[in-house]
Chains A and B, each alone.
Chain A
């Protein structure tokens, strides 16, 4: 049984919705009633059926609409996709990874056949059937990274590893939480994380880098990150701040449930075999408050997390202006009763 792909938008009329099944599989990021940074990294292994971890590269009902939105972003701003000259080999590594994983997880939608260097890739949801020579960029309509990431949900950063550091030397970034590939391209791990508050002092980035540079082939890792977005807009980039920044002033007690979205990133980390680089897929999941509070445990817990969030974090995540309105709205759904441990709904 295949996925039924929704027709929906992430801009203008914002028709994005989650089906009831997708609400239940939402990767709710809080395992307790409070939130603080931690190096919350774990092995990226297959999780329960019906969860977003059922496959290591998740394809869901928003796939087709997200790929259409990505094409619109790229048409307006081609610099959302960049690859420095030495990163082409890593692009082929990524193409292999994403084709293999999507074909493995969703054989009814994707098929990969290989005969030596001669590869055939069928992507039924997007109506693609291409035959090409692996390693020969002249046989694809785009570079290998751009080709496959126009067909894969989530943003992708490819990091070169050298001098004991990681370097943001290639990426496809159109669904980001207010950061810019064009600004960060060529930066190292500490440089591109410089704006994050509190975590540097805790030594988190030094430890995280040590862990990431030791990621091994065949042993990917993952973590969750989160923020909030007003309206289900995938492209909340600094380049387009003028389009989405003002949305934050539009939250009222009447429209919280429809406008305010929890935005969760499932970030994973994979060693690439030929280039020895690391690919860092950042997969964005959105859920509006009206959908989220259909799970009473999540409603109670989110209320407590947002209410008690340290001011620096609220500022960094851009919640300051509408936090009181949101907390007031959520408080009506929090009867003070205990929440069960773990992420999932009751």
Chain B
């Protein structure tokens, strides 16, 4: 099958600053038709053409799945990242024509749940914006616990409170408000499903406590996108295509492979879906694995790498691409 998903030609219809770190972007189809329907928790991959560099970053759709006239995403500015969010904040203006992927959902609601218990941290709120809208439309039972640094950085906290009132609980770090997680997890009705999206530390904490308190793993869902991290440049030989390429400091290995005209399959570009898994033919150096897909055994073996998020330091690396 061909690479990735079907593409959508869109135009930026609005750019709305939400607070000092987060900006919201609205997309409509260039041909004026409706966008594809999606399910709460889905993301799209946004292609950012920044001079001669193309970055592809995944962002959760945060509008209501019931309204497909436009898609909305929220982007948190990351001043020390690889520049994707800075590009979005600085260069993307209303009227700009962009290309995004069809929606893909790797963080789906379990529709069997008697109750949906949602835990969000920071910008991890975005998939829950769509999921709560979907559930509210169907009369679904949900409760959202949202931790943010300060009230002014509580992106969409006001919107959620206004829409869902007491179903939304807020916790502010600067006021020392903390979720009483053990109590929360111990007092849920049978048939509750737990969803968590936020920083890696928060996801690990919630998963660990849920496991310790006897939650079945099938009832615990998490969105664990790792953004590709910058790092030292390195050289790679692509054995099948017979090319040697350099991965720049701010570039992911996958982006460098694509820039050389080789198109491995991908979906999430965040180290979770497994599509771009690549065999290592030989290496002399050290892998920096950042994915959540390969097993620890795979990581130790030196036989596989997820080029969307992982890097390499050393003398030589030969991949089966």
Contacts and interface: CB of A to CB of B under 8 A. Distances in A.
A245 interface: no
Contact of B5 (A89, A160, A219): A219
A74 B117 CA distance: 39
A48 to B, nearest CB: 21
A163 to B, nearest CB: 5
B105 interface: yes
B218 A163 contact: yes
Nearest to A169: B112
Contacts of A160: 111-112
A85 to B, nearest CB: 8
Contacts of A214: 267, 273, 275
Interface string B118-143: 00000000000000001000100000
Nearest to B134: A274
A161 interface: yes
Contact of B36 (A221, A273, A276): A273
A221 B1 contact: yes
A275 interface: yes
The listed residue with most A CB atoms (<10 A of its CB), out of B6, B36, B39, B275, is: B39
A270 to B, nearest CB: 12
Interface string A272-285: 01111000000000
B108 A217 contact: no
A276 B108 contact: yes
Contacts of A246: none
Interface residues of B, number: 27
Interface residues on A, range: 20 to 34
A274 B39 contact: yes
A216 interface: yes
In terms of DSSP, what is the predominant structure of the interface of chain A? mixed
B103 interface: yes
A85 B112 CA distance: 8
B38 interface: yes
B37 to A, nearest CB: 4
A216 B38 contact: no
Contacts of A85: 112
B1 A275 contact: no
Contacts of B222: none
Contact of A216 (B111, B134, B267, B274): B267
Contact of B39 (A87, A216, A218, A276): A276
Given A43-B1, A89-B138, A276-B105, A219 B38 contact: no
A113 B134 CA distance: 24
Given A160-B111, A275-B111, A217 B65 contact: no
B104 A217 contact: yes
A218 B36 contact: yes
B111 A89 contact: yes
Nearest to B110: A162
Interface string A182-218: 0000000000000000000000000000110010111
A86 interface: yes
Interface string A39-63: 0000100000000000000000000
Interface string B263-294: 00001000001110000000000000000000
Contacts of A163: 218
B215 interface: no
A217 B267 contact: no
Nearest to B111: A86
Contacts of A89: 111, 138
Contacts of B36: 217-218, 273
Interface in A197-254: 210-211, 214, 216-219, 221
Contacts of B112: 85-86, 160
8 contacts: A211-B1, A214-B273, A216-B6, A219-B1, A219-B102, A273-B37, A274-B38, A276-B109
Given A43-B1, A217-B102, A276-B41, 15 more contacts: A43-B2, A89-B138, A161-B108, A162-B110, A210-B274, A211-B1, A214-B267, A216-B5, A217-B103, A219-B1, A273-B37, A273-B39, A274-B38, A275-B39, A276-B105
Interface of A: 43, 85-87, 89, 96, 160-163, 210-211, 214, 216-219, 221, 273-276
Interface of B: 1-2, 5-6, 36-39, 41-42, 65, 102-105, 108-112, 134, 138, 218, 267, 273-275
Which 8 pairs show the lowest CB-CB distances between chains A and B?
A273-B37, A86-B111, A218-B6, A276-B108, A276-B39, A86-B112, A216-B5, A276-B105
